[in-house]
């Protein structure tokens, strides 16, 4: 089960589903959508740092929201304050900054919890000028990057937060080319079950391959719609969330976009 700290206004996608207000970037978009048992939504947030960077994160916290509100508030506050402080300078080393952000979030979670509290997190910094994402995956469900070559999994770069006071995950950088999409989903989405069958990451990959050219909002809505269809109206025991970064494809040059004249 997870907890949510995103407080943006929501609108219905389907019954019991909400989508967060999209963040429009330079030729790109960040968006998220979630649904599930009230009081247990996955923690997600995204916001602009400066003219060329945006920060996003999805974090799963074990236990009900009412028992973990202090942890959720501490995680969000630290993500925002440390992100604004460490990533605002244009010349900053993004990898070092992302590692330090997770170090500070880890300390804040441990302090707020007063105990070990495993919190897998996927956090990324999107650089609009470079078209790259510098990310940390602390024991979270792999991020999925779809581009012209197919889908790549962005696996764990370290242990979940909330376990060890001196734990630090590594940071990696990936290119998000025009037309590419980065999708991160919660464990509750992957582990959604109907009878003895799990929704699973392969279904998420298959759906992502079948949604080229769609906006981040449309991808999130498609993923949640597929999970709801899979569940056939059965309430999800844990909440499900999808957060997506989608870049617009570059338009074809005019000479290529038009049909070639017929030679006679």
For every residue of the chain, DSSP letters joined together read: ---------EEESSTTEEEEPPEEETTEEEEEEEESSTT-PPEEEEEE-SSSEEEEEEE--SS-HHHHHHHHHHHHHHHHHHHHHHH-STT--HHHHHHHHHHHHHHHHHHHHSS---B-EEEEEEETTTTEEEEEEESPPPEEEEETTEEEEE--SBPPBTS-TT-----EEEE--TT-EEEEE-HHHHT-EETTEE-HHHHHHHHHHT-TT--HHHHHHHHHHHHHHHHTTPPPSS-EEEEEEEEPPPPPPHHHHSPPPPP-
Question: pLDDT per residue over 178-187, tens digit each?
Answer: 999 999 999 9
Whether 259 is in a domain gets the answer no
Whether 264 is in a domain gets the answer no
Window from 9-13, 68-72, 96-100, 215-219 with minimum mean pLDDT: 9-13
Whether 3 is in a domain gets the answer no
Whether 5 is in a domain gets the answer no
Whether 74 is in a domain gets the answer yes
Domain count, the chain: 1
For residue 128, give the nearest of 58, 43, 56, 75 by alpha carbon.
56
Residue 68, both tokens: 């973990």
Domain enclosing residue 219, as ranges: 10-251
Whether 261 is in a domain gets the answer no
Q: Could you tell me if 163 and 118 are in contact, meaning their C-beta atoms sit under 8 angstroms apart?
A: yes
**Confidence bin at 196 (pLDDT 50/70/90):** confident
Residue 120 scores a pLDDT above 90? yes
SS3 sequence, 178-208? CCCEEEEECHHHHCCEECCEECHHHHHHHHH
CATH classification at residue 107 = 3.60.40.10
**Confidence bin at 259 (pLDDT 50/70/90):** very low
Q: For all residues of the chain together, what is the average pLDDT?
A: 85
Matching residue, tokens 């001196």: 166
Distance separating the N- and C-terminal Cα atoms of the chain? 67
d(CA 63, CA 144): 26
Whether 236 is in a domain gets the answer yes
Could you tell me the strand order of the sheet in which 172-175 lies?
Answer: 43-48, 53-59, 121-127, 132-138, 172-175
Matching residue, tokens 């006071």: 165
Window from 39-48, 107-116, 243-252 with minimum mean pLDDT: 39-48
Mean pLDDT to the nearest integer, 139-150: 96
**Confidence bin at 262 (pLDDT 50/70/90):** very low
The pLDDT score that the predictor gives to residue 81 is 97
Q: At CA 119, angle to CA 126 and CA 236, rounded to 5?
A: 95
Residue 64 scores a pLDDT above 70? no
Residue 255 or residue 243, greater confidence: 243
Residue 248 or residue 194, greater confidence: 248
d(CA 121, CA 75): 10
Q: How far is CA 29 from the centre of its chain?
A: 12
**Confidence bin at 213 (pLDDT 50/70/90):** confident
Whether 147 is in a domain gets the answer yes
């Amino acid at each position: 089960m997870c907890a949510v700290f995103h407080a943006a206004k929501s609108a219905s996608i389907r019954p019991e589903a909400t989508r967060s207000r999209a963040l429009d970037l330079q030729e790109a978009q960040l968006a998220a959508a979630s649904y599930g048992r009230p009081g247990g939504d996955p923690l997600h947030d995204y916001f602009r740092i400066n003219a060329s960077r945006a920060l996003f994160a999805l974090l799963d916290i074990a236990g009900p929201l009412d028992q973990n509100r202090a942890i959720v508030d501490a995680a969000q506050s630290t993500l925002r304050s440390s992100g604004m402080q460490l990533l605002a300078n244009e010349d900053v080393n993004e990898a070092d900054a992302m590692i330090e952000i997770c170090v500070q979030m880890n300390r804040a979670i441990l302090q707020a919890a007063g105990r070990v509290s495993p919190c897998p997190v996927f956090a990324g910094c999107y650089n609009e000028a470079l078209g790259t994402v510098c990310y940390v995956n602390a024991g979270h469900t792999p991020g999925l990057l779809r581009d012209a070559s197919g889908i790549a999994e962005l696996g764990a770069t370290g242990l979940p937060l909330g376990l060890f006071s001196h734990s630090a995950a590594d940071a990696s950088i990936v290119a998000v080319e025009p037309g590419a999409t980065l999708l991160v989903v919660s464990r509750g989405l992957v582990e959604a079950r109907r009878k003895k069958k799990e929704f699973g990451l392969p279904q998420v990959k298959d759906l992502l391959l079948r949604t080229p050219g769609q906006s981040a909002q449309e991808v999130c809505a498609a993923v949640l719609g597929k999970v709801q269809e899979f569940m056939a109206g059965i309430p999800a025991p844990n909440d499900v969330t999808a957060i997506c970064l989608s870049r617009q494809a570059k338009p074809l040059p005019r000479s290529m976009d038009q049909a070639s004249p017929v030679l006679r």
